[in-house]
Amino acid sequence: MRNSVQKNRLLCSVFSLILCTHVSFFFKFAISGDTITLNQFISDGQSLISSNRDFELGFFSPGNSQNRYLGIWYKKISTGTVVWVANRDHPITNKNSTLKISEGNLVLSNQTQSINWVSNSSKPVQSNQNLVAQLLDSGNFVLKYQNNDNPDEYLWQSFDFPTDTLLPGMKLGWNLKTGLNRVICSWKSAEDPSQGDFKYGIDNQGYPQLVMWKRNQYQYRSGSWNGLRFTGTPQLNENPVFGYTFVYKPKEAYYYTTWARNNSVVTELVVNNTGIVRRLTWNDRNKDWVLYTSLPLDICDTFNLCGAHGSCNMDNSPVCQCLEGFVPKAPGNWNSMDWSNGCERRSTLRCGEGEGFKRYAGVKLPDTREALVSLTMGSRECEDMCLKNCSCSAYASANAVDGTGCLLWFGDLLDVRKLIDKGQDLYVKMPASELGQTQNDERKYGSEEDPEEVELPLYDFTTISAATNNFSLDNKLGEGGFGPVYKGKLLEGKEIAVKRLLSNTAQALSEFKSEVKLIAKLQHRNLVKLLGCCIEGEERMLVYEYMPNKSLDFFIFDESRNSQLDWQKRKQIIDGIARGILYLHQDSRLRIIHRDLKASNVLLDNEMDPKISDFGLARSFGGDEIEANTSTVVGTYGYMSPEYTMDGLFSVKSDVFSFGVLLLEIVTGRKNRGFYYQNRLLNLLGHVWRLWNESNLLELVDESIVNSCNLSEVLRCMHVGLLCVQQSAEDRPSMSSVVLMLGGETINLRAPRHPGYFIELENSNQTDSSSSNQEYRTATDMTMTISESR
């Protein structure tokens, strides 16, 4: 009996030990809620449920399939609609798989430990012990450090690897920094979630646009973003179901949707195995999905249905027609409703006089894979740039909200569609024979007066003297090579700036006449406006609009004031100066070389927008003249190009060099002349070039803008600056190219060649306007002497 009791006690002890061990094992690996840790896993039959109970993650078999997949589906919706699949191309054939955290990744493996899927986290793991995987309320499954809810610091997230469904909060498109491209791809069938034939996402070639591919071929194109919607989706409107936007940054290009304002409507975007993109909403009363909208809409949404230079219109029969001024390439095929060969011009463009543009209102803009974009250029600048580029075939505004930005097409125009409403204006270049006389006149003169008829207002001396308080020292703004500049106020209250010529030398009078003659004919928002002049007795004065924020050098070279110009303002100033120079070189009725671009000749208005001033040394070119030679080199040392300094040769590329110097000064906050580094042999251009070769340009960025700047924009600007200051004028870009490079992040920049900088042999404390003889050595050890006149 005693032995029996002892035996029973022993059995109870063993049973208790087994039970305790089993319970301990259970609690160690049990799944609770929405999270698993390093010491946990989920097996087939277990699941994670988001805290709001909207989404569930676990194993499933689609339809009648016996294969098993790890996926995410709606928890509250009775249909169990799957929104994400981990191992879509690697099915599991049994129910013996587990998901766990291992070596910084999520790993899905079977009973033989063969891996079916791994998350492949792109970020380095600091500590495996702190890792957790969590199913968020948004439906996003993330791998992260415990208690870290910063999306930018997730080690991995399912939202970066969508399957066929785009949920609110997901990005569709590119992270250009990492090369990650988020696309949604159809299932092969309702029972096979592996990748099907159709993909929907952002094509980042040229100017980004939303596209449907079938086996890597364009099937449908929603078009480029115009600030309101994609140009081929007029039905994309503000609505109570979901919000949307498109983000285009230097390192990102993606489409993004958000939940409805009250989060009460369940919505998703799905691409199915027939190539239809559907926006669906859940009808809780009927317990079913309801179609909100779908793409493509009709036959005209078929990519390039009408061929090159054709236009599709559902209100026409047949739907395809050639754009005006174009005829079918293959008329026989065209009559048989085969439009694939497209259209060709009736009259050839010859890049000559009289060419202009035909406006097509309310269209889906052409395919932008080969297009160039500038988001800062105005419509008139865009038009002129296209007109003067023989390869340009059409242009349009990039932003339909305010008509800003510039899209330029080169070659064939593909996939144009006439829209009933909410389309955009497209301007197609036409030869003179296809344009009426009225259009030619409008193209030639626009809304401005004929420059030959412009009359400059004259002010009498008494008016100017009263406005400046008899040229009081208290009203003096500064002193230039031309003479003193005074602030004044006319009787009606208008503030003015008066440049008074004090010298009657031949050069001074020549500069005065040059400035009057040239700037009176110029009208641009980035050029200072000449209001009139005073010619009375010995007096020679120019009256300008008053710039309340003085000149650019007043800020960027002063440690106490440079912080007032953050990076956004500096980029705005750089872009404005570039557009102003482009106008002088290319878009004004006279081709003008400024010859004295520098920080002190850039004035700032009340919004800190730049205005180029001081045209006393400017020269106009006529006809086919592209460069000139002078025996008298005048200008400001540090900004003058090598060919001008040494040989007296000047051209538009001389101004490009000066702009490059000015751009680098704006970014670094340092003067080119007077900046020396360590051994004091390198000026600013030399030092920038050295740091370029060391891949360390950020060392020179002005400390006052480090916290406010977009580093990729800063580096791009410095790159453009180095291209502008290259030793050879032929290597430097034109100002039209500079404007595009500054505004179009998708434009690749070539590597710069050796800059045309000078190395000073002796330390000098001379200012920009000093009159002294100094010896300098170029990078090729050529010596010369230059006499500065300004």
Catalytic, 596? Answer yes
DSSP state of 32: B
Rounded CA separation 588/618 (Å)? 14
Q: Which of 596, 614, 655, 702 is catalytic?
A: 596
Query: How many Cβ atoms sit within 10 Å of the Cβ of residue 248?
Result: 20
Rounded CA separation 293/187 (Å)? 20
Residue with tokens 């026989």: 332
List the one residue out of 567, 598, 599 whose CA is nearest residue 712: 567
For residue 681, give every residue at least 6 positions away whose Cβ sits within 8 Å of its Cβ, in sequence order, or none. Answer: 759, 760
List the one residue out of 425, 369, 363, 371 whose CA is nearest residue 397: 425
One-letter identity of residue 333: N
Start-to-end CA span in the chain (Å): 122
Give strand pairing partners of 498: 486, 543
**Reduced DSSP (H G I as helix, E B as strand, rest coil) percent helix, strand, coil of the chain, to 5:** 25, 30, 45
Helix (H) / strand (E) containing 194: strand 192-203
Helix (H) / strand (E) containing 574: helix 567-582
Rounded CA separation 642/203 (Å)? 43
Residue with tokens 């208690």: 147
Token readout for 252 is 């990102």
For residue 181, give every residue at least 6 positions away whose Cβ sits within 8 Å of its Cβ, in sequence order, or none. Answer: 173, 174, 175, 201, 202, 204
One-letter identity of residue 732: R
Token readout for 610 is 């730049």
Within 360-496, residue ranges assigned H as helices are 379-388, 437-445, 461-467
For residue 719, give every residue at least 6 positions away whose Cβ sits within 8 Å of its Cβ, in sequence order, or none. Answer: 749, 752
List the one residue out of 258, 292, 299 whose CA is nearest residue 277: 292
Is 45 exposed, middle or buried (CB count within 10 Å of its CB: 0-12, 13-18, 19+)? exposed
For residue 322, give every residue at least 6 positions away whose Cβ sits within 8 Å of its Cβ, in sequence order, or none. Answer: 309, 310, 311, 328, 343
Within 615-764, residue ranges assigned H as helices are 642-647, 652-668, 684-693, 711-724, 735-743
- Maximum C-alpha span of the chain: 140
330, 340 in Cβ contact below 8 A?
no
Give strand pairing partners of 249: 252
Buried b (16+ CB within 10 A) or exposed e, 215-226: eeebbbbbbbbb
Residue with tokens 């453009």: 720
Main-chain phi, psi angles of 294, to 5 degrees: -145, 160
Alpha-carbon distance values, 421 to 230, 232, 398, 403, 426 (Å): 13, 11, 18, 17, 14
Do you find a cis peptide bond into 318, omega within 30 degrees of 0?
A: yes
Token readout for 725 is 């200051």
Within 636-695, residue ranges assigned H as helices are 642-647, 652-668, 684-693
DSSP state of 53: S
Cα-Cα-Cα-Cα dihedral sign, residues 88, 92, 96, 100: negative
Alpha-carbon distance values, 620 to 625, 634, 651 (Å): 10, 16, 10
Helix (H) / strand (E) containing 519: helix 506-519
Do you find a cis peptide bond into 296, omega within 30 degrees of 0?
A: yes
Active site residues: 596
